[in-house]
Amino acid sequence: MKNNFLIKQYISDKKMSIRHNYLSEQFNNPKEIFKSINKIVKFNDFTLGRYVDLFEKEFCKYQKVKYAVGVGSGTDAIFLSLKALGIKDGDEIITPTYSFYATAGAIAAAGAKPVFVDVKDDLNIDENKIEKRITKKTKAIVPVHWSGRICNMKKILRISKKYNLHVVEDACHAILAHDDKKKYAGNFGITGCFSMHPLKNLNVWGDGGIIATNNKKIYEKLKLMRNHGLISRDNCKIYGYNSRLDTIQAAVALKMIKQINFITSSRIKNANYLNAKLKSIKQIKLIKEQKKYKSVYHLYQFYCEKRNQLNNFLRSNKIDSKIHYPKPLHLHDAAKKFKYNKGQFKNAEKLSKKVISIPVHEFVSKKQLDLIINKIQKFYN
């Protein structure tokens, strides 16, 4: 029996001095959260309890959206959104080939085929290549706001309207990212899907997700689908799923969402500092931001020469650099049945060999940022 590979990753990451994982610092004094959990234990409302309702209402305020549905994970948020829209076996869903595996996985779990599209240099879906991938079987577009950088939603929505397609936003990286009119990621499509994995900008103590929507009909359907289709203890209206946001995780989320403005501004500040210092290194190419959109830097990434060697060098100096991700989705074993070929999405394949991530979260100090910069300079000099 194979071991859980995550355990080795946790042990390896813990040895780093400057880490992507900041949870020890973030939760160094969890007394308020434990008070809430103690109330849950006494009241016994572990599934769809009071804190779930409270968190959903609070999320709506921050996200400026009418409705929110807490679910088991960001992956479930995408899956349930697609099922609520009637996606079935044989349908096709357009999505970028550069993303975390969950995006394509949720599409496949819904019974549909992920139809991949190449990405631009900012690692977001190339909106100019979407129309060529549309067929009679296409039912929706799932753009991914990669690392908290919003896709060109104006063009994507224009395409979706032309072909009568749903837009389900994978906004798992992008809470509080917005355009120049203060419209938030997740508010452009019929639903916006958010992850609260422990290392997301808005995080909990395990898995958790939430779906944002302004469509009341979809909202009501999603509430049914996450809880077996039950409208009461004794009445099942539709056959649904078990994807409830745990009340304990909702209590953590309720605490953390009050810090989300600080978390966001800190990441932006750190990213701007890194941009200013790294732009002079000729072996590095920074990712350009779109002027009309505000990024929230779930990840801080850049392109570089000798990427693997730099990654190993930084890690040998106890700096937790990572590669998100070394190959696009169409090249994984899971995608073989869809018969994609190497070289089919050239930009994604090229960029995946050059991209690297370094810590940017709110607990990285200026001194630590300077150390990272110094080590990168030393490597190339």
| Same domain flag for 250 and 315 | no
| Same domain flag for 196 and 272 | no
Contact 201, 267 (CB under 8 A): yes
| Same domain flag for 175 and 250 | yes
| Same domain flag for 249 and 331 | no
- Pairing verdict, β 355-358 and 300-304: antiparallel
CATH number at residue 317: 3.90.1150.10
Q: What is the pLDDT of residue 1?
A: 54
Domain region containing 376: 259-380
d(CA 8, CA 362): 25
- Pairing verdict, β 209-213 and 235-236: unpaired
Contact 331, 348 (CB under 8 A): no
| Same domain flag for 96 and 35 | yes
| Same domain flag for 79 and 128 | yes
Residue 96 in any domain: the answer is yes
| Same domain flag for 239 and 314 | no
| Same domain flag for 252 and 340 | no
| Same domain flag for 265 and 191 | no
Q: Quick one: the chain helix, strand, coil %, rounded to 5?
A: 45, 20, 40
Q: Of 189, 223, 258, which one is at a domain's C-terminal end?
A: 258
Amino acid letter at 186? G
d(CA 232, CA 257): 30
Residue 2 in any domain: the answer is no
Task: Calculate the alpha carbon distances from 57 to 11, 222, 223, 252 in Å.
Answer: 37, 16, 14, 15
pLDDT in tens, the chain (381 residues): 567 888 888 888 889 999 999 999 999 999 999 999 999 999 999 999 999 999 999 999 999 999 999 999 999 999 999 999 999 999 999 999 999 999 999 999 999 999 999 999 999 999 999 999 999 999 999 999 999 999 999 999 999 999 999 999 999 999 999 999 999 999 999 999 999 999 999 999 999 999 999 999 999 999 999 999 999 999 999 999 999 999 999 999 999 999 999 999 999 999 999 999 999 999 999 999 888 889 999 999 999 999 999 999 999 999 999 999 999 999 999 999 999 999 999 999 999 999 999 999 999 999 999 999 999 999 999
Residue 6 in any domain: the answer is no
Look at the chain and report how many structural domains it folds into.
2
Residue 25 in any domain: the answer is no
| Same domain flag for 246 and 265 | no
| Same domain flag for 202 and 82 | yes
Residue 340 in any domain: the answer is yes
- Max distance between CA atoms of the chain, in angstroms, equals 70
Residue 7 in any domain: the answer is no
| Same domain flag for 192 and 322 | no
Q: What is the pLDDT of residue 78?
A: 98
Q: What is the pLDDT of residue 364?
A: 98
Residue 194 in any domain: the answer is yes
- Pairing verdict, β 138-141 and 92-96: parallel
Residue 9 in any domain: the answer is no
CATH number at residue 169: 3.40.640.10
Q: Of 224, 258, 292, which one is at a domain's C-terminal end?
A: 258
